[in-house]
Amino acid sequence: MRDRGERAILREMPTPGDAPIRERDPSGPPTRPAPPVLPGDDPGAIAVAAEWLRTGGLVVFPTETVYGLGANALDARAVARVFAAKERPAFDPLIVHLADASEVGAYAEMADADDPRVARLAARFWPGPLTLVLRKRAVIPGIVTAGLPTVGLRVPDHPVARALIRAAGVPLAAPSANRFGHLSPTRAAHVVAGLGSRVDLVLDGGPCRVGVESTVILLAAGRAVLLRPGGLAIEAIEAEIGNLEVLVDGAPGTAELAPGRSGSHYAPLTPLELADPRDPDAVLAFAVQPGERVGLLAASSAGRAAAEAVGGPFAAVEVLDADGDLVGAAARLFDALHALQAANLSRIVAQPVPDRGLGRAVMDRLRRATHDAPAGRAGDQYGRAGDQ
């Protein structure tokens, strides 16, 4: 365990576990005090965070996609704490974050690290929202990859993330910094609300620029398989290395290659349905019954007007992008869902966006968010796969 006395720099920091659980309201759920949040652009904060990571701690850091819950990827005990903090099932592997593409050879088998497609994608898209799944070297503990022979590697494009990885001197295993099955965080405040003092420190880097998780592709043994659409458009990847194989949820082989895919993901706690106000069969979804509080997630300002013309009044409205731009929509998606989730709504109606470019990642998240009603969520967190 950490010897706090030896580490003057940490002495001032509140220590999770020391503080008792306190009741916010005797009738409400127990809450833990918030974790320390430090500005990510402060070199002193980076030094404190790096020390936590080197000594087995958990540090939440901003990336360009979403906030990550980081631990030293080479320390199996620290990684175990990540799974515990997230309540994440052990079969869902974590992405390992590197400071630089030159480190791939240290963690991936030579045959995959030397694959010209890896060099090509790394040169073109790293740092950036792309995760490459390659056969792993033994130095990566099995807990990181959930026992899989492959490891997901990514060089994030955020100055705080890169400064932190460099200062820690170790690769960081980091899933999105939310509890399993919940919405991904794109602001430090989302992390604090979701994880509280289950983490040792949060570095605040402001809102995430891309706003949806990285695109994950498997490039092992000559294959090129899309495991998760995300913040890098598939069209851009295919322009570099040709067509990707696309997995279908539930199809044979999918669970083995992508254990995190099936089941419900990214779901707000409020029931969500997808409906297009221009589709005559879907207009009923926009009708608000007396006493109902319905939230609208509009794809654009025009989409909002269309929804308000066939239904409403809506108790809360979020517009993903005024002009319907898909990059803007991805950037706003989780922030908008967090806001709607906090608005005490009976249900949310979300408009579809075009299924291309970053719209594909948005639609993937929205479809998965509709899979399950909240009532079914608590009991089955470990009973099925999830991408969180």
Q: Which residues bind ligand TXA (CB under 6 A)?
A: 63, 65-66, 68, 92-95, 129, 131, 133, 145, 148, 150-152, 154, 156, 174-176, 213-214, 216, 227-228, 258-260, 387-388
Question: Which of 115/276 has CB closer to ligand TXA?
Answer: 115
Q: How far is the CB of 213 from Mg ion (least distance, A)?
A: 6
Structure-token pair, residue 147 = 């026992």
Question: Which of 63/388 has CB closer to Mg ion?
Answer: 388
Interactions with Mg ion, residue window 150-209 (CB under 5 A): 176
Size of the site for Mg ion (CB under 5 A): 2
φ and ψ of 202, to 5 deg: -120, 130
Q: How far is the CB of 61 from Mg ion (least distance, A)?
A: 15
Position closest to Mg ion via CB: 176
Question: Which of 154/304 has CB closer to ligand TXA?
Answer: 154
The whole-angstrom separation of Cα 210 and Cα 72 is 24
Dihedral angle at the C-alpha atoms of 103, 165, 123, 331, nearest 10 degrees? Answer: 150
The entry of Mg ion, ligand TXA, none near residue 227 (CB within 5 to 8 angstroms by kind) is ligand TXA
Q: How far is the CB of 34 from ligand TXA (least distance, A)?
A: 20
Asked if residue 331 lies in contact with residue 213, where contact means CB atoms within 8 angstroms, the answer is: no
Residue 72 interacts with Mg ion (CB under 5 A): yes or no: no
Residue 388 interacts with Mg ion (CB under 5 A): yes or no: yes
Sign of CA dihedral 369, 372, 376, 382: negative
Displacement of CA 7 from its chain's centroid (Å): 31
Question: Which of 46/294 has CB closer to ligand TXA?
Answer: 46
The residue type at 325:
D
Question: Which of 182/304 has CB closer to ligand TXA?
Answer: 182
Q: CA–CA distance from 35 to each of 45, 75, 264 (Å)? A: 14, 22, 28
Of 68, 24, 34, 65, nearest in space to 49 by CA: 68
The entry of ligand TXA, Mg ion, none near residue 92 (CB within 5 to 8 angstroms by kind) is ligand TXA
Of 290, 281, 271, nearest in space to 350 by CA: 271
